[in-house]
Amino acid sequence: MDSANKQTMLVVGGCRSGKSRFSQQWAAERFTRRTFVATTVAGDDEEMQHRVEMHRRSRGADWQTIEEPCDLTGVLREQWRETDVFLIDCLTLWLTNLLLKDWSDAEIETGMTDLAAAVKECPVSVVLVANEVGLGIVPESALARRFRDLAGWCNQRIGAHCDQVVFMAAGLPLYLK
């Protein structure tokens, strides 16, 4: 793919809003060599293992899959020659993984900045999926408020570096940018 056709997109929305389906369909309609970057760590969680398997089936065999819970910047900078588009699903779980590794807010913000730069610099198209977690009530616990704030800042930072930002609700896309 030539870099003149490169596109970057952030797709945000609530749980079960259609973010993943929309993103997969968008990439499948435009690109032959597609790479799904999964940030989920299912571990021993049977319900999460089932969700991962459902996502795999929905993509089909014509997607390459990279399971990378933390180093998204490395994937974009080192593996772009193998694909025409990266679909990163999802930034919210990536943030959760960093929090579970006890990263400080400053380390996470540096990670966000590095990821935004990698998205901008990547020679191929990049689609990123994230949950919009700031539409509800203010969480009761300090950890939940920290998570909500970091997720919102991450979405803002990444969205500022993307050509398009799409908000999903009820399976329908609303193009914000």
H or E, element range at 169: strand 164-169
* Contact status, residue 76 vs residue 118, Cβ threshold 8 Å: yes
CA distance 127 to 164: 9
Residue 58's domain spans which residues? 3-175
Mean pLDDT to the nearest integer, 158-171: 97
* Contact status, residue 65 vs residue 36, Cβ threshold 8 Å: yes
* Contact status, residue 13 vs residue 63, Cβ threshold 8 Å: no
Task: State residue 172's pLDDT score.
Answer: 97
What is the number of structural domains in the chain? 1
Q: How many residues does the chain have?
A: 177
- Phi, psi angles (nearest 5°) of residue 10: -110, 130
- Phi, psi angles (nearest 5°) of residue 103: -70, 140
Task: State residue 4's pLDDT score.
Answer: 63
- Lowest average pLDDT, out of 14-18, 97-101, 145-149, goes to 14-18
Read off the CATH number of the domain in which 48 is found. Answer: 3.40.50.300
Task: State residue 139's pLDDT score.
Answer: 87
pTM: 0.92
C-alpha distances (whole Å) from 128 to each of 8, 15, 115, 137, 141 are 8, 15, 11, 25, 28
What token pair was written down for 143? 């950890």
Mean pLDDT to the nearest integer, 9-31: 95
* pLDDT confidence bin for 131, thresholds 50/70/90: very high
* Contact status, residue 68 vs residue 58, Cβ threshold 8 Å: no
Return the closest-CA partner of residue 116 out of 89, 154, 151, 80: 154
| Catalytic residue from among 33, 55, 56, 77 | 55
Mean pLDDT to the nearest integer, 128-145: 92
Give percent of the chain above pLDDT 90.
80
* pLDDT confidence bin for 99, thresholds 50/70/90: very high
* pLDDT confidence bin for 160, thresholds 50/70/90: very high
- Phi, psi angles (nearest 5°) of residue 35: -125, 125
CA distance 149 to 134: 8
* pLDDT confidence bin for 3, thresholds 50/70/90: low
Does residue 161 have an active-site annotation? no
